[in-house]
Structures are given as C-alpha cells and as structure tokens.
C-alpha cells in the first residue's frame, strides 16, 4: 500500500496549475448517459474516483477514448446495461449519480445502495424520493435500488428537505428528458451544479435558475453532442492555498475561479495571508504565524465542509484559540485524533472542534488517512511538522488530489511516495 513520507519545514514557492474539478467531472461524466451519441469532456482530473466512474460507464456499455491530456471522448449510444454494480458503487458514493440519467433515458435502473461512509451515515433517501416524485417506482431489493418508470419520467415538483449536491444533480439530469416541467426547490447552489448545467445546456437541455435555490427544467426529447471543458477544482485550489499559508510561502495558482473561492479566500485573509487576484489567477503570500480562524461549514456560498479539515490543520499552528463547527456531515472529524498525535491541541465536543494553536509547531508522526479531505489535512500538517511524517492509506488522497506529491514538490516540498 502506498504511503507518503513528508519532510516538513519548507516554504512553498512558485506557481501551480489547478486541475479540473472532481465534483464537476463526476456528474458531467454521468450526464453522458443521457446522450445517444458521442461527447467530448476536457480537463478531467486524473483521479481514482474518475477512473471508478469511467469503469462504471464502461460496465454499462459506454465506449470511450482518453488522450494524454485526459480529454475524453465518450459514446453512450450502445449503452445497454443500466446496472451500477455494488463492487464499483461501494468504492465511490458518487456512483449514485447514474440513477437520474439512467431512469431518464432507459426508464429503468438498478443501482447498488452505497452503504456506510467514514464521514457519517450519508443516506441516499433524497435521491430516491426525488425520482419517485418524477414518477419512478422504486423498490430496495438485495441492497439495490431497483427503479422503473414504465412510460418514462414525468416532470414534477421536488422540494429537498436538506440541501444535497449530488441529489440536486441527479434531479436535474432526471428532469432533462422527462415529459414536462420539473422544479427543484431548496436546490444546491454549488458551482459544480452550475458547471453541470452549463454542460447540459450546451447539449440542448432547457434549464433555468442554476446557482439559486430554485431550478426549473423543461424536458426535451433528446440531447445533442457537445464539447465541454470542466471547471477548475476550487477545493484543490483552496487546499494548496491553505498549505502556502501554513508554510509561510508565496505561490501563484493559474485559474479563473476567484469568485467561487471568495469564502475560502476571506478566511485565509483573516489568517493573515496577503492575496492578490488578477486575470491570470490568484497569488498568495504569507510571512507570519497564522491568526486563528473560526469556521462554520454550510452549503455554498458559505464555508465548504470539504475545506474544514484543512483549516483545523491551519488552526493547529495558529497563535490563538479557534472554533470549527461542522454542520454538513455528522462524523467528519476523523483527522482530529491524527492531528493530536502530531501535537495538535484540539478538543471535540459534538459537532465542534475547539483548537488552541501550538505556536511551537507540530511534530512528525506516523498517521493514517481516513477520508479524502482528512488526508489532505494530514499532508498539510506534515508540511509544517518537525521531522518526517508518514501518511498511511493514501488511496483516499488519490481519490481526489491529482499527483499531490508531484504538485507540492514542484513548489519546494519534500514528499516521497513509497510502497510498503
């Protein structure tokens, strides 16, 4: 199993190119099911979750070619097996994203229930409820969601009781080929939802209101081929900018996303970072011990849960006390015990972490990655710790960060990937 060995204490300096967004590429790949033709998807990140989605689509009969830039041509015209097997779904919950498009195009689908997850129970009840709202009959049999809409899906009103990102994306993709109008209330406003809609619109879908909490979709008979480039990954960018802040570095990241990064950039400014934005991207410079930053996670445009762990790492070396509240997932503090092993002074009480910055710095230790963003926080801690940190189970990191050690080493970090 691969591990990362991180020798801490170096400032990150230089410039970096952001990868395509995982959470945008996944629904966009799933949307190819809606099309009886070829489409081209560009700027796909090279990640394990993307490979899983590609395997899932291939297992259903989609044909694809990928070039060295990870631009992918995908042809779902011969897709004939609307089944998402447990073996693939269990490795990636986002596999549930095929439910809406399969029902929309084939009027039937069998998708394995994803099961438990390191960051909470993460049910898919809202995905199932919204498909029922559009006329699907759904039974849960042998751990599978078995869904059928004999005469096709029909437009309906979906009102999510909870904001759900992939639930909103599934509902949008289901509505695209449904008969009539579908409305989604309490929709997720995440930029990745907006990116999916931009791609679907390029394919001829009629969708209005993305980026707000009310989305309307007028069903069309068929979609047309398109060529679409996935947006940059705001969480990857946010993670690297946090690393630069922690290591007192100076880095420019080429990207065109500053507006969707506003909440994260505001928090990094509170930490003391000097941030400049121009048409090329973002430059961040930091020259002192960070100030503590209070965080409370919530759906977009508020602070993303996917950046919570990284900010706990930052607060662990800040000069003062801070409070981090996790409101989105029930058990997303697995990194805390590992950070404590590196000298972090953190107390957990319910959904709140109370942190007292350790200005003497963290100390390297062998630590274990438990989920994607938790792993990122351990890498960040390793970058500033005294000594060599060994991060185990980094397959979690490879699910969501493209060549993390190569990118950080280019900025001057000292990280080695070893297999043991």
* 4 lies in the site for ligand UD1, by CB under 6 A: no
**Pattern of binders to ligand UD1 over 317-346, x per CB under 6 A?**
-----------xx-----------------
Q: Cα-atom radius of gyration of the chain, to the nearest Å?
A: 21
Among 4, 12, 21, 23, interactor with ligand UD1 by CB under 6 A: 23
Among 14, 116, 120, 143, interactor with ligand UD1 by CB under 6 A: 120
Stretch that binds ligand UD1, among 30-38, 120-128, 196-204, 285-293 (CB under 6 A): 120-128
* 138 lies in the site for ligand UD1, by CB under 6 A: no
Residue among 117, 68, 71 at smallest CA distance from 94: 117
- If the CB atoms of residues 147 and 286 are measured against ligand UD1, the closer one turns out to be 147
Those residues with Cβ within 8 angstroms of residue 259's Cβ, 6 or more apart along the chain or in another chain = none
* Chain centre distance of CA 15: 23
* 123 lies in the site for ligand UD1, by CB under 6 A: yes
The encoded tokens of residue 369 equal 């990655």
Does the bond joining 301 to the residue before it have cis omega, within 30 degrees of 0?
yes
- If the CB atoms of residues 14 and 120 are measured against ligand UD1, the closer one turns out to be 120
The alpha carbon dihedral of 96, 97, 102, 108 has a sign of positive
Q: How far is the CB of 366 from ligand UD1 (least distance, A)?
A: 27
Among 8, 167, 249, 281, interactor with ligand UD1 by CB under 6 A: 167
The encoded tokens of residue 24 equal 């945008």
Please give the Cα distance from 233 to 121 (Å, whole number): 26
Residues 89-118 contacting ligand UD1, CB under 6 A: 93-94
- If the CB atoms of residues 305 and 322 are measured against ligand UD1, the closer one turns out to be 305
| DSSP conformation letters of 23-91 | HHHHHHHHHGGG-SSEEEEES----HHHHHHHHHHHHTT-EEEE-TT--EEEE-TT----EE-HHHHTT
Among 127, 234, 335, 396, interactor with ligand UD1 by CB under 6 A: 127
* 26 lies in the site for ligand UD1, by CB under 6 A: yes
The alpha carbon dihedral of 360, 366, 370, 373 has a sign of positive
The encoded tokens of residue 351 equal 């959904």
Annotated active-site residue 117? The verdict is yes
Q: How far is the CB of 309 from ligand UD1 (least distance, A)?
A: 11
Among all residues, which ones are annotated catalytic? 117
Residues at the interface with ligand UD1 (CB under 6 A): 23, 26, 93-94, 120, 122-127, 162, 164-167, 192, 304-306, 328-329
């Amino acid at each position: 199993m691969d591990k990362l060995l991180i020798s801490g204490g170096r400032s990150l300096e230089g410039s970096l190119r952001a990868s395509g967004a995982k959470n945008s590429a996944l629904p966009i790949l799933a949307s190819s099911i809606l099309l009886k033709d070829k489409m081209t998807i560009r700027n796909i990140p090279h990640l394990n979750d993307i490979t899983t989605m590609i395997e899932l689509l291939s297992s259903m009969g989609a044909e694809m070619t990928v070039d060295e830039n990870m631009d992918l041509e995908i042809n779902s015209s011969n897709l004939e097996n609307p089944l998402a097997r447990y073996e693939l779904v269990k490795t990636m919950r986002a596999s549930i994203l095929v439910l809406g498009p399969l029902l929309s195009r084939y009027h039937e689908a069998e998708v394995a229930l994803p099961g438990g997850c390191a960051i909470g129970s993460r049910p898919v009840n809202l995905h199932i409820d919204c498909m029922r709202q559009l006329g699907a009959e759904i039974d849960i049999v042998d751990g599978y969601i078995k869904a059928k809409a004999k005469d096709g899906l029909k437009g309906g009103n979906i009102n999510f009781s909870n904001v759900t990102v992939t639930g909103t994306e599934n509902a949008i993709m289901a509505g695209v080929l449904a008969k009539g109008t579908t409305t989604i209330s309490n929709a997720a406003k995440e930029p990745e939802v907006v990116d999916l809609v931009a791609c679907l619109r390029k394919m001829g879908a009629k969708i209005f209101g993305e980026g707000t909490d009310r989305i309307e979709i007028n069903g069309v008979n068929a979609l047309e081929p398109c060529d679409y480039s996935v947006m940059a990954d705001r969480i990857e960018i946010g993670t690297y900018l946090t690393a630069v802040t922690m290591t007192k570095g100076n880095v420019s990241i080429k990207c065109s996303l500053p507006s969707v990064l506003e909440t994260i950039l505001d928090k990094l400014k509170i930490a003391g970072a000097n941030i400049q934005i121009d048409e090329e991207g973002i430059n961040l410079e930091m020259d002192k011990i960070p100030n503590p930053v209070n965080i409370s996670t919530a759906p977009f445009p508020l602070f993303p849960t996917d950046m919570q762990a990284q900010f706990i790492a930052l607060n662990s070396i800040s000069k003062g006390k801070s409070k981090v509240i996790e409101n989105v997932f029930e058990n997303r503090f697995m990194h805390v015990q590992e950070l404590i092993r590196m000298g972090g002074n953190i107390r957990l009480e319910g959904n709140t972490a109370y942190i007292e910055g350790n200005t003497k710095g963290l100390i390297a230790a062998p630590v274990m990655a438990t989920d994607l963003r938790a792993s990122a926080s351990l890498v960040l801690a390793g970058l500033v710790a005294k000594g060599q940190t060994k991060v185990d189970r980094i397959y979690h990191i490879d699910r969501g960060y493209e060549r993390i050690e190569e990118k950080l080493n280019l900025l001057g970090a000292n990280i080695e990937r070893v297999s043991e």
